């Protein structure tokens, strides 16, 4: 500031170093932007664009490493979603890592090798836990903005709890409880609201589905009495069309909240849209 005064520069405050905080992907970004709303001196960005979706087998790009090199903190989902994390912390040992999954009760990956299912954000109560972790991590990083971070987090948590109560009451009233999902994204959501995931079409959403896998899924769906199938807007659903044709099960769309418009209310908006879909699909 002294230098600014001496040189008579204008706009010097804006040129002061902004703290760069990077979220690994979309859901973490949405939660973090609510916690950091109107907090001065900090720039939040997402390492991957929203078109990326889930980070299954994500390979770091040179541009990611460049962005992380300038960042003070990295906000991760955790629970194994960021399999590239050791490369990042190896390269940037001073980078503060905030793990949103701390304290979340994890579900083991179906057919996995001692790994956890990483789609924790789809249970709003987990989202609350994630917001608390972000609040604590960001408040430690930006102590001068602690009061605003605390009040932002409290207001957001209240909205998330209200959403949770709404989903809970509405889904409990639905006669149907069985669903078939495209990839392994909804076990936390199902556990939260008493739904039963009868089958998952694929555990490798970015790869083509083998005929053997397809046959086995079709058998599982028939055994379960052809419950509704849920495609995801992020993935091609030609396999689902085949399954629907084979079983006669209807197809709807559930959004795992990994892409979107980035608005502050994106989490609640998508969850309410998913609820409306479930009410149609399971409401008799
Ligand atoms: Zn996923």
Length of the chain as a residue count:
284
Q: Kindly report the CA angle at 97 between 138 and 144, in degrees rounded to 5?
A: 20
Residue 148 in contact with residue 38, Cβ under 8 Å? yes
Distance between CA atoms of 1 and 16, rounded to whole angstroms? 9
pLDDT at 3: 52
89 CA to centre of ligand 1 in angstroms: 23
How far apart (Å, rounded) are the C-alpha atoms in residues 183 and 127? 20
Residues near ion ligand 1 (CB < 5 Å) are 54, 185
Query: How many Å lie between the centroid of ligand 1 and the Cα of residue 118?
Result: 7
Q: How far is the CA of 209 from the centre of ligand 1 (A)?
A: 16
* Confidence class for position 284, pLDDT limits 50, 70, 90: confident
Q: Which one-letter DSSP state was computed for residue 108? A: B
- pLDDT on residue 1: 45
Residue 138 tokens, joined: 């960001």
pLDDT digits (tens, 9 = 90+) for 71-97: 999 999 999 999 999 999 999 999 999
Cα of 244 to ligand 1 centre, how many Å?
22
* Domains of the chain: residue spans and CATH: 17-165 (3.40.50.1980), 174-282 (3.40.50.1980)
* pLDDT tens sequence across 221-261: 999 999 999 999 998 778 888 999 999 999 999 999 999 99
CA dist., res. 125 & res. 134, Å (int): 14
Residue 187 tokens, joined: 């076990």
* Residue 11 CA to ligand 1 centre (angstroms): 44
Could you tell me which of 126, 114, 130, 128 has the C-alpha nearest to residue 76? 130
What single-letter DSSP state applies at residue 10? S
Ligand 1 center–CA 93 separation, angstroms:
28
CA atoms within 13 A on the CB side of 155: 13
Distance 119 CA to ligand 1 centre (A): 6
Calculate how far, in angstroms, residue 218's C-alpha sits from the geometric centre of ligand 1: 21
260 CA distance to ligand 1 middle (Å):
15
Report the chain's mean pLDDT, rounded to a whole number: 93
**Residue 52 CA to ligand 1 centre (angstroms):** 11
CA of residue 44 to ligand 1 center, whole Å: 23
Instruction: Read off the pLDDT of residues 14-53 as tens digits, 9 standing for 90 and up.
Output: 556 899 999 999 999 999 999 999 999 999 999 999 999 9
Written in H, E and C, the secondary structure of 15-54 is HCCCEEEEECCHHHHHHHHHHCCCCCCEEEEECCCHHHCC
Distance 7 CA to ligand 1 centre (A): 53
- Look at residue 130 and tell me whether its pLDDT is greater than 70: yes
Q: Which two tokens stand for residue 151?
A: 């009040």
Model's pTM, two decimal places?
A: 0.92
- The structure tokens listed for 218 are 């079709």
């Amino acid at each position: 500031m002294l230098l600014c005064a001496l040189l008579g520069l204008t706009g010097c405050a804006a040129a002061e170093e902004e703290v760069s905080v990077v979220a690994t992907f979309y859901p973490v970004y949405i939660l973090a932007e609510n916690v950091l709303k109107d907090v001065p001196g900090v720039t939040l960005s997402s390492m991957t664009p929203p078109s990326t979706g889930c980070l299954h087998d994500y390979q770091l790009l040179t541009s990611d490493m460049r962005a992380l090199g300038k960042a003070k903190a990295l906000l991760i989902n955790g629970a194994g979603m960021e399999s590239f994390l050791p490369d990042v912390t190896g390269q940037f040992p001073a980078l503060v890592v905030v793990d949103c999954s701390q304290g979340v009760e994890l579900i083991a990956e179906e057919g996995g090798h001692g790994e956890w299912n990483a789609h924790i954000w789809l249970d709003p109560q987990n989202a609350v836990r994630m917001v608390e972790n972000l609040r604590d991590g960001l408040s430690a990083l930006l102590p001068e903005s602690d009061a605003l971070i605390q009040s932002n987090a409290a207001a957001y948590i209240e909205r998330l709890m209200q959403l949770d109560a709404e989903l809970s009451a509405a889904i409990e009233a639905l006669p149907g409880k069985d669903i078939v999902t495209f990839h392994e994204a909804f076990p936390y959501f199902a556990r939260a609201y008493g739904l039963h995931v009868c089958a998952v079409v694929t555990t490798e959403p970015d790869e083509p589905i083998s005929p053997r896998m397809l046959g086995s899924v079709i058998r599982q769906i028939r055994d379960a009495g052809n419950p509704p199938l849920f495609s995801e807007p992020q993935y091609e659903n030609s396999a689902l069309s085949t399954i629907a044709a084979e079983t006669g099960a209807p197809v709807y769309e559930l959004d795992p909240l990994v892409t979107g418009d980035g608005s502050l209310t994106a989490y609640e908006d998508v969850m309410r849209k998913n609820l409306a879909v479930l009410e149609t699909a399971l409401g008799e």
